[in-house]
Amino acid sequence: MGDRLPSGDAMTSAFPVLAQQVNGHALAYLDNGATTQMPLQVMEAMRRFDTHSRANIHRGVHTLSQRATDAYEAARERLLRYVGGNEAHELVFTSGTTESLNLVAQGLSLPGMPSGGGGAALLPAWIQPGDEIVTTALEHHANLVPWQLAARRTGARLRVLLPDAEGCVTTEALAALLSPRTRVFAVTACANGSGERPPYEALLALAREAGALTVLDAAQAVSHEVPQLSMLACDFMAFSGHKMYGPMGTGALVGRREALERLTPLRMGGDMVEWVSETDAGFAAVPQRLEGGTPNVCGAVGLAAAADFIDGVGREAISAHVEALREHAVAGLSALPGVRVLARQTRRTAIASFVAEDVHPHDIGTLLDERGIAVRTGWHCAQPLLERLCQSPTTRASFALYNTHAEVERLVQGVAAALDMLR
Amino acid sequence: MSGADFDLYQQLVLEHKRSPRCFGTLPAPTHQARGRNPSCGDDIGVQLQVAGDVLQDIRFEGRGCAICIASASMMSEAVRGQKLDDAKDLQQRFRAVITGEIEPEEANLGKLVSLGAVRRYPSRIKCALLGWHALMHALQDAGGGAAAQDDPDIVVDHAGAAGDAAAPPTPDGAPR
C-alpha cells in the first residue's frame, strides 16, 4: 500500500509538532478524532491577523476594525462555501461542535424573541409538550445530552434510534420512529466511538419528509468527507475547527437561514441587537443574532485558513488516504487474537475503534505511548453506543492526512506486543 | 520493550491482574462500597467482614485495567486479617507513594511497592487508587477514624451497611 499524499518530509515540515520523539520513538500521532494538528500555513494566517489587523469587529470606523471585520466576514464566506452552503444558508461562528449543538437544542426549546422587539409577544418554542425529538445511539454525548435536557425542559419525548448488533442504523428503523409529532431529528455524520458512517443523507431526507428540523453533527467528517449542505435535507450542521487542522476553540453552526432564525440565542449582549432601551431590545438578523459578544476573530481566520489548507491538498486525496489507513488498521488489528474492531465494514471513515479480550484499553494506550504512538482510550464521550456494542471502553486510532502506512504497522505491532505482555 | 513499561507492568503486577486474589463476594459482608472512574468505566466493589477492630475478610469484584485490578488484589491480600487502623495507615502510605508525596523505599509497602512506578504516569494514578477508595469508604462506618480522601475523578457509591451497593459487572481479565 503506497501513500498517496505528499511525502512524509513535506508533511512534517508543514506540521512541526510531528517532528518529535516521544519516549525515545518518533511520534505517531493517531488521535486525530480528538484533535488534529495544525499546519504552519494556518498558524501563519493567524499570526498575520494578530500582527496586522487585530481589532474588534463591526461598527468600528477605524482602519484596523474595518480590516478585522473584512477578515471575519471573508472567513464566514469561505467556510460556508467549504461546506457547500448556498444563498439560502448562513454560518454562525461558535467555539465548536458542542456549542453549536447546544445552541440548536436550547434555541429550539425556549420561547424565541421576535426580530423587531418593541414589546411584541415571544414566539412559542419550536418544541412543545408532547412533541418528539429523535436522535440515535451512535451519538457523541454532545449530540445526546442537549436533547435529553431539551426534552425535559419542554415536556417532549426523546426517542433514540438504536443500531443493530454491528452498530448500523437504517432508514427502516428510523421510519418506525418518526411520527407527526417528530419536531427534531439529530444524527452524526460519523460516530466518534465506533467509526460507523451512517447513511445520513437518507436519514435526514426521511426526517425532513416527516416534518422535522434536521441536525447533522459533522465533527468527525469535516476534515475529509465534508458533508455538502446544499445536497442535504439538513437544517443545521455543526463542526469544530480543531478536528480539521484548525485552531482549538473554533467551530460553526451552519444551516438554512430560515431554520437559524427559529433559534433563541444562547448569549444576549453586544453585537446581537439592533437597538436597546432600558426595558427592551430589537434583535439583529442572523448570523449576528446568534453571535453575542466579541467573537474569536483570529480563530475564524485560522479556521478559514484550515479550509484552504484542506482544499489545497485535495479533499478526495485526503479522504482516500485516511480510508486506506483505516482499512489497513482494521485488517491488521482484526488479525490479532481476541481483537474486535467496531464498525468493521463501514467505509469513508478515519476511525478504527477496537476492544481486546482480557486486556483493558488503558493498558494498551500506556504501552503504545511507550512506543511513541498516541491513541485515545476510554468511552470517547459515547458511552451509550459502546455499552451497546461492546459493554466496555475501547482503544481508538484515528487518522489524518499526515499519517502513514508505516505508522499503522507500528500501531498493529504495538498492540500485538501489549496483548502478549498483558494476557 | 523499554525499561519504563517494564517498571509499570512488573511481573507481580501482571500476575495479580491475571489471577486476582480475594476476587468475588462475601456471603454476609458487614460493610461495602463501590468506586467508579466515569472516564474509563473502571468499576470496583469492595465487601468487608469486620469484627471489632479487625478486618477479618475482604472480597472485591468489578472491571478495570491491569493496574486497577492488580492494585485492588494486592490491597485485599495486604489488609485481610489486619487491624482497621493498620489498614487505614497502609492506605495512607500507599496513596502518598502513588501521588508522589513520599518515596516508595520510605513507605514500607511490602509487595505493594511493585506498583510504585504508577507515580510516573499521572493519568494512571486514579486506576491504582480506585479499589483503595472503595475500601476507605466501606471502612468509614467501621470504627471511625480518618475519612476517605476523594479524588475528583472517582465516584464512590457508599453503602455503609451491607446490601444496597449495586453489583458491579464482571472484570476484564479476571477469572469468570
From chain B, the residues in CB contact with A360 under 8 A are 42, 63-66, 68, 172-173
Nearest CB among B4, B5, B64 relative to A360 is that of B64
Is residue A234 a contact partner of residue A24, using CB atoms and an 8 Å limit? no
Question: What are the tens digits of pLDDT across the range A340-356?
Answer: 999 999 999 999 999 99
pLDDT for residue B153 is more than 90: no
Q: What angle do CA A340, A343, A344 make, to 5 degrees?
A: 65
Cβ of A421 within 8 Å of Cβ of B124? The answer is no
d(CA A150, CA A133): 9
Residue A55 has which C-alpha cell?
481589532
Q: Which residues pair with B55 in a beta bridge?
A: B50
B95-104 long-range contacts, CB within 8 A, separation 24+: B95/B129, B95/B132, B95/B149, B98/B125, B98/B128, B98/B129, B99/B125
Is residue A220 a contact partner of residue A400, using CB atoms and an 8 Å limit? no
pLDDT number for residue A280: 87
From chain A, the residues in CB contact with B2 under 8 A are 23-24, 370-371
Question: What are the tens digits of pLDDT across the range A252-282?
Answer: 999 999 999 999 999 999 889 989 999 888 8
At residue B88, the 3 state secondary structure works out as: helix
Residue A12: pLDDT band with limits 50, 70, 90: confident
Cβ of B173 within 8 Å of Cβ of A422? The answer is yes
Cβ of A360 within 8 Å of Cβ of B8? The answer is no
At residue B82, the 3 state secondary structure works out as: coil
Which A residues in the span 15-74 are in contact with B, Cβ-Cβ below 8 Å? 23-24
Residues in chain A: 423
> A384: exposed, middle or buried (C-beta count within 10 Å: 0-12, 13-18, 19+)?
middle
Count of Cβ atoms closer than 10 Å to residue A3 Cβ:
17
d(CA A271, CA A285): 11
d(CA A354, CA A343): 9
Which residue on chain A is closest to B176 by alpha carbon? A358
pLDDT number for residue B163: 42
ipTM of the complex: 0.85
**Distance, C-alpha A410 to centroid of its chain:** 28
Q: How crowded is the C-beta side of A161, counted as CA atoms within 13 Å?
A: 31
Cβ of B9 within 8 Å of Cβ of A422? The answer is yes
Cβ of A422 within 8 Å of Cβ of B17? The answer is yes
Residue B12 near chain A (CB below 8 Å): no
At residue B50, the 3 state secondary structure works out as: strand
Residue B155 near chain A (CB below 8 Å): no
pLDDT number for residue A116: 60
Which of A168, A298, A381, A390 is labelled catalytic? A381
- Calculate mean pLDDT across residues B131-159: 72
Cβ of A391 within 8 Å of Cβ of B169? The answer is yes
The Cα-based distances of A56 to A17, A49, A78, A267, A287 in angstroms read 31, 12, 20, 18, 17
- Calculate mean pLDDT across residues A400-419: 98
From chain A, the residues in CB contact with B117 under 8 A are none
Cβ of B67 within 8 Å of Cβ of A421? The answer is no
A390 is catalytic: no
From chain A, the residues in CB contact with B18 under 8 A are 423
Residue A53: pLDDT band with limits 50, 70, 90: very high
Query: Strand pairing of A28-29 and A373-374?
Result: parallel
- Calculate mean pLDDT across residues A289-314: 97
